[in-house]
Amino acid sequence: MTQQSADHRKPPSIRDVARAADVSYQTVSRVLNNHPSLRPDTRQRVLDAMAQLDFRPNLAARRLATKRSFTVGVVVTVNGSYYGPTSIVSAIEDAARESGYATLLASPRSNDAAALSEAIEHLIGEAVEGIVVLAPQTRTAEVIAGVGKPVPVVLLQSDGPGSSPGLSVDNELGGALAARHLLGLGHRRIAMVGGPEDWTEARARQRGFEAELAASGLAPVAVAAGDWSAESGYEAFQRLAPHDFTGVFCANDQMALGLIHGAVDRHLCVPKDLSVVGFDDVPESAHYLPPLTTIQQDFEILGRRSMQSLLSQVEGTGVTFDVPARPSLVIRASTMPVR
């Protein structure tokens, strides 16, 4: 065979895979469609044959044959520079691709109800088979309820009607863990930098934090709201500075970074003069100065759960998640016992 003919040889087909795996082409089709009735060893034999032949499913042909789009939509109303939402969307795309689906992303230019509704209508017009909505603002569930939904819609990080508790992190527990850590170090005068008031995550973290303090007969000495950015954390410290506090919980790591900057500008030493706890455990938090004690949440599991939940509705497999993802405390050098 010449080099030219080798370069233009016909790519392997579904029937080639069937012959290599010694199964029917209908069985290969079931593997491609992630059918639950297949035996694990049969599925693996087909997957091995696909890998051996370098078989790539033709999504366009699959759509024509099944009259389905095999596409899901993702609506994101969150700034793309934030680590958490970006990680969640990446996990959604990975999970969709592994299940044989393409993803179509819609990012409204604003967070208002009209823009969110328009994004959903746009995706429905593109014949998606389901939609994941990552819009953690408190009004999201209400907006979704008012939109005609001919396809399944799954809400992430929401506590409104139609949301599933298993598609959120237990943010109240995360706030409680932060307070518990500072209390365990002997801090009694503790402040907080909260997130935007219209975000369900921010409100839940503050509820958990304040409830844990209240269980010890305490309340925050002051609370300043931020917008998740490091700049807002820096500005929040300026508002908190007049209060006498030895520990502070920031509702995300970026605001903690800005707050530490503000503290250093006031000639305070973290953690000797001020212990700081963040939330998220972004990769950079281990390299802050000092490395940041924070609450870790698993963004990967949230993205994958959302796609499993959506596809279970699309394909009728009945997968549900009822228990929120559990956060954990990561102790580093930004906290120490109160002097």
In a domain, 339, yes or no: no
| Domain identity same for 113 and 186 | no
User: Is residue 242 a part of any domain in this protein?
Assistant: yes
Given a contact cutoff of 8 angstroms between Cβ atoms, the answer to whether 286 and 280 are in contact is: no
Query: Does residue 204 share a domain with residue 283?
Result: yes
Residue 292 and residue 179 share a domain: yes
Same-domain status, 224 and 116: no
* Residue range of the domain that includes 130: 71-167+299-315
Which CATH number is 47's domain given?
1.10.260.40
Same-domain check for residues 32 and 20:
yes
Specify whether 291 is located in the same domain as 175.
yes
Residue 264 sits in the same domain as residue 293: yes
- Positive or negative: CA dihedral 39, 41, 44, 46: negative
* Cα–Cα distance for residue pair 265/256, rounded to 1 Å: 14
Q: Domain for residue 325, yes or no?
A: no
What is the model's pLDDT at position 9?
63
247 and 214, same structural domain? yes
Residues 42 and 139 in one domain: no
The verdict on 293 and 175 lying in the same domain is yes
Tell me: do 187 and 275 sit in the same domain. Answer: yes
Q: Is residue 40 part of a domain?
A: yes
- Could you give the number of structural domains in the chain? 3
Kindly list the distances between the CA atom of residue 250 and the CA atoms of 73, 175, 210, 321, in Å, as whole numbers in the listed order: 32, 9, 13, 28
- Whether the CB-CB separation of 306 and 319 falls below 8 Å is answered with no
- Confidence (pTM): 0.82
Is residue 63 domain-resident?
no
Residue pair 113/143 in contact (Cβ under 8 Å)? The answer is yes
pLDDT at position 278 is 98
Does residue 33 sit within a domain? yes
Query: For every one of its 339 residues, what pLDDT tens digit does the chain have, with 9 covering 90 and above?
Result: 444 444 456 788 888 889 999 999 788 877 877 676 788 899 899 889 988 988 877 666 666 666 788 899 999 987 767 889 999 999 999 999 888 899 999 998 777 788 888 899 899 999 999 999 998 887 787 777 777 778 999 999 887 666 788 999 999 999 999 999 999 999 999 999 999 998 999 999 999 999 999 999 999 999 999 999 999 999 999 999 999 999 999 999 999 999 999 999 999 999 999 999 999 999 999 999 999 999 999 999 999 999 999 999 998 887 889 899 999 999 999 999 998
Q: What is the DSSP string of 81-101?
A: T-HHHHHHHHHHHHHHHHTT-
Do 256 and 179 share a structural domain? yes
pLDDT value of position 139:
77
293 in a structural domain: yes
Residue 144 main-chain phi, psi, to 5 deg? -60, -40
CATH number, domain at 263? 3.40.50.2300
Nearest to 111 by CA among 140, 91, 88: 140
Identify whether 321 is part of a domain.
no
